[in-house]
Amino acid sequence: MTAFKTIKGVPVKTISGDRAGSSFEGQLYYDSDGAGAFKFVGALGAVSTGTWASGGNLNTSRAALSAAGNATTTAGLAFLGNTGSVTTASEEYNGSSWTSGNSANTARRNLGGAGTQTAGLAFGGFTATANSADTEEYDGTSWSEQNNLNTARRELTGCGTQTAGLAFGGQVTTHSALSEEYNGTSWTEGNDLNTARSEDPAGMGIQTAALCAGGDSGSVSASNEQYNGTSWTEVGDLNTARAVLAAAGTTAAAIVFGGSSNTVNTESWNGSSWTEVNNLATGRTNLAGLGTSLNALAFGGSPSGTATEEFTVTNAVKTIDLS
């Protein structure tokens, strides 16, 4: 048989036993235990799990808030929501605690979010009297008004960056399948979701590779769809149908958590299917989440409006047939 080094030009380490963990992430190795096998630490169809631990509390207790979904667990951004009334408050997370930032211009709840701590994007929502099409950008210091969504709506979700954002789903007069793309200046209508839904489905990924999971399409949904930058395709459903949930990750590796009936359930996506993993410590609905990998933050929501939890991933080991 041709050696892997001959094919790829690099040797493969021989190690005894499984080597799950961040220090081995992305490594291919040969397991000399037992019959022996080639193994890979990380994605490639493996299910990665992890544990939740308490983080620093939000300063402003709130539900129906949003976040810069592509931010990291050491540089997070939470904004707007419902404190008993709609709020403009935003906060930044440094890996251990939240600091109040400058307020947004338009108070609203059940809105979409995208971007990072220094380049955030907030869009849509409900102002307490009407659906909103407002879009605002955050530069790490202040919020500025931008061009509106084409269709005002609440209970939508989104993902991506400040210059390549994606908004989908929501409530117009009923559940919506609408999808819009943002280029840093304006929104353009894209192809619709296959399943119209509202009640804050989970959004994760980037503009050209996104997931939309859960929500409400007349009843609480387990439907999961993947976007390739042009169209949406039905892929593997959640194990537990739910709305008003949160998420983090990409189309290759993601987690969803919380949601309907104050659930603690967390599920991990490996690119093709969802698997139940370790639960949140505190069940809640109408929460927010962020993270570009399986290392994620969950924060806010009802009934625990200030609670923050951090998910730290332990990479699974995938046995690979290279014969």
CA distance 319 to 323: 12
Which of 112, 113, 88 has the alpha carbon at shortest distance from 102? Answer: 88
pLDDT at 208: 98
pLDDT at 240: 97
For residue range 206-261, what is the model confidence (pLDDT) as tens digits? 999 999 999 999 999 999 999 999 999 999 999 999 999 999 999 999 999 999 99
| Residue 136 clears pLDDT 50, i.e. is over it | yes
Q: For the chain, what is the mean pLDDT?
A: 90
| Residue 65 clears pLDDT 50, i.e. is over it | yes
| Residue 191 clears pLDDT 50, i.e. is over it | yes
CB atoms within 10 A of CB 184: 14
| Residue 35 clears pLDDT 60, i.e. is over it | no
pLDDT at 247: 98
How does residue 320 score in pLDDT terms, banded at 50, 70 and 90? low
Which of 292, 225, 216 has the alpha carbon at shortest distance from 254? Answer: 292
The stretch 128-133 carries a mean pLDDT of 97
The stretch 147-158 carries a mean pLDDT of 98
Angle at 292 between CA 45 and CA 255, to 5 degrees: 55
For residue 19, which phi and psi values (nearest 5 degrees)?
-130, 55
| Residue 15 clears pLDDT 90, i.e. is over it | no
Cβ atoms of 300 and 258 closer than 8 Å:
no
Contacts with 114 (C-beta within 8 Å, 6 or more apart), sequence order: 68, 69, 70, 120, 121, 123, 158, 159, 160, 161, 162, 165, 166, 182
How does residue 143 score in pLDDT terms, banded at 50, 70 and 90? very high
Could you tell me which residue, 34 or 108, shows the higher pLDDT?
A: 108
Which of 141, 84, 110, 53 has the alpha carbon at shortest distance from 288? Answer: 110
pLDDT at 49: 73
pLDDT at 18: 54
pLDDT at 157: 98
> With 0-12 CB in 10 A as exposed, 13-18 as middle and 19+ as buried, what is 99?
exposed
Domain residue limits, the chain: 4-46+315-320, 50-312
| Residue 25 clears pLDDT 80, i.e. is over it | no
| Residue 45 clears pLDDT 70, i.e. is over it | no
How does residue 14 score in pLDDT terms, banded at 50, 70 and 90? confident
Q: Is 72 helix (H, G, I), strand (E, B) or coil?
A: strand
- The CATH code that applies to domain 50-312 is 2.120.10.80
For residue range 197-208, what is the model confidence (pLDDT) as tens digits? 999 999 999 999
> With 0-12 CB in 10 A as exposed, 13-18 as middle and 19+ as buried, what is 278?
middle
| Residue 29 clears pLDDT 70, i.e. is over it | no
pLDDT at 9: 46
The stretch 177-202 carries a mean pLDDT of 98
